[in-house]
Amino acid sequence: MSKLDVRAKIAKRIAEELEDGQVVNLGVGIPTLVASFIEGKQVFLQSENGLVGMGPPPSEEELDIDLISAGKEPITITNGASFFSSADSFAMIRGGHIDVAVLGILQVDVNGEIANWAVPGQPILGVGGAMDLVVGAKKVIGAATLLAKDGQAKIVKQLTYPTSGVRQIDLLVTEYAVFSFENREVIVKELLGHLTMEDLQQLLGIPLRQEVTL
């Protein structure tokens, strides 16, 4: 499976978690792809640079250089979209008005705490709205490939990257499985690829609890 197919698989699975009427913030990276898989649902996508009503990426004919997401990627807007200041946008986030935040992650520990904005020794990616979303969103879904480019698992016993906030995320969706976190346990809720529970256990090197939908 190509890198693009893997990312799309994760995004499509996350889209299944979204419900009609929800206000959803999509982070940079894999989360932005979720916008392409929510057809048929009335979901309101929010971007922290001041927009509710973000649509999927534009075709070449639809491209408007004035319409970008918080990640500076081109977007479309849906009927009834609303524009407002960045201050109002963060008031929405900090005020608990975002139903779901979908965030890309670099690491997640056994407590469900994530790191997603900086890698030690490398240029800072920039925290953006990550910490605000971790604290303010009602539900947080992590989106990530199971392994980093160097082959290391992104689920770790303890974070070695700077934390994005002391908050247990609700769900982590990877190309191989869907995980949740409870009482320092990593729970496998659904298998999505060819790896078995035993394979995952060996790959991650941490205890896993099975709660699998086959």
The values of phi and psi at residue 177, to 5°, are -165, 160
Q: To 5 degrees, how large is the angle CA 136–CA 137–CA 139?
A: 140
* Contact indicator for 114, 142 with CB cutoff of 8 Å: yes
User: Which residues are known catalytic residues?
Assistant: 48
Contacts 24+ apart (CB under 8 A), 177-186: 177/146, 178/13, 179/155, 180/112, 180/211, 181/108, 181/110, 181/111, 181/112, 184/110, 184/111, 185/110, 185/209, 186/110, 186/155
